[in-house]
Amino acid sequence: MEGTNFTVVVEFILLGFSDLPNLQGFLFGIFLVIYLSILLGNGLIIIITKTDPSLQTPMYYFLGNFSFLEICYASVTVPRMLTDLWTHNGNISLWACAVQLCLFLILGVTECFLLAVMAYDRYVAICKPLYYFLIMRHHVCMGLVVGSWILGIPVVIGLTYQIFSMPFCESMKLNNVFCDIYPVLEVTCGDTSMNELSVYADVVLFGMIPFILILNSYIRIITTIMKMPSATGRSKAFSTCSSHLTVVSLFFVTAILTHLRTKTSHSAATERVLSLLYTTMTPLVNPIIYSLRNKDVIVALRKVLLK
């Protein structure tokens, strides 16, 4: 560690889109529209799942909670990004950066487990339809949702503390639009192998395990559907899963590609694109996917809009 210059870090500088100075206003407008669309679309999903009597089922209970999560997920990063684009000032305090990273990771873990819970709900509905309402009772659904929210909190807080306890070098510039793991690790001094190992372990624990659970649910679902004698029945069963499967694919592919990489192989430009994809695109397309592929949601939305 001799010869390395340390500094007491008070704040970081988020570079964001500083390499595109002529597009700052345009990007602000684009991401403002995206954020407002996220709030409006997911807000409507929450309203209809809470007020429409035909949507008072476990499936839509999970969907309402998932839409609320998507609003929180986008709100952790996008408003800050909009502020930086508007003011052309990417300064963020150490504590604000740590809080943003911690909340971002907690919500990411929650999304992984909530998607797994939604896959389990579809498994019970299709593979055990006669026992569906017996298994997916309200207190069970509440327990699954609460468990999804709190399961990763202790580990994520520990990981955030571990990262921000490291000494930082003179460079305080984070080459991203928000505080994420790899941009912060890039400005730390010393050996970060233990930190990267912790990140990989957390990705396996809170990313791959839910993904495997989802995969297991869908293997069982597909096996059951293929045994159905009626083509209409098979089509209807597939349609109840297609929306969830699309959201799962979009979220997990981009999230796993982002975090299952080493610090040296990490590309800031690629990270920025992938980070924007799984922090804005999933919350943005979630209401669109469920609206286009679900007749019950379409009917409920029409009722709300007509009122």
Q: What is the largest CA-CA distance in the chain?
A: 73
Mean pLDDT for the stretch of residues 293-306: 78
* pLDDT band at residue 208 under the 50/70/90 scheme: confident
Residue 241 has pLDDT above 60, yes or no: yes
Rounded to a whole number of angstroms, the distance between the first and last alpha carbons of the chain is 67
SS3 173: strand
How confident is the model at residue 213, as a pLDDT? Answer: 93
How confident is the model at residue 307, as a pLDDT? Answer: 67
- Per residue in 89-98, pLDDT (tens digit) is 888 888 999 9
- For the domain spanning 11-302, the CATH number is 1.20.1070.10
Select, from the ranges 144-148, 169-173, 188-192, 276-280, the one with the highest average predicted confidence (pLDDT). 144-148
Domains of the chain, residue spans = 11-302
User: Are the C-beta atoms of residues 155 and 202 closer than 8 Å to each other?
Assistant: yes
User: Are the C-beta atoms of residues 167 and 6 closer than 8 Å to each other?
Assistant: yes
* pLDDT band at residue 76 under the 50/70/90 scheme: very high
Q: What is the DSSP letter of 165?
A: T
Q: Give whole-number Cα distances, 203 to 24, 152, 218, 255, in Å.
A: 33, 11, 21, 9
* pLDDT band at residue 229 under the 50/70/90 scheme: confident
- Could you give phi then psi for residue 188, rounded to 5 degrees? -90, 155
Select, from the ranges 140-149, 168-177, 197-206, 235-244, the one with the highest average predicted confidence (pLDDT). 140-149
* d(C-alpha 73, C-alpha 116), whole Å: 17
Q: Which residue type does 53 have?
A: P
Higher pLDDT, 35 or 174: 35
CA dihedral 91, 94, 100, 101 (to 10 degrees): 120
* pLDDT band at residue 100 under the 50/70/90 scheme: very high
User: Are the C-beta atoms of residues 81 and 287 closer than 8 Å to each other?
Assistant: no
Q: Look at phi and psi of residue 16 and say left if phi exceeds 0, alpha if psi is from -120 to 50, else beta.
A: left
* pLDDT band at residue 256 under the 50/70/90 scheme: low
Residue 221 has pLDDT above 80, yes or no: yes
How confident is the model at residue 267, as a pLDDT? Answer: 56
How confident is the model at residue 1, as a pLDDT? Answer: 44
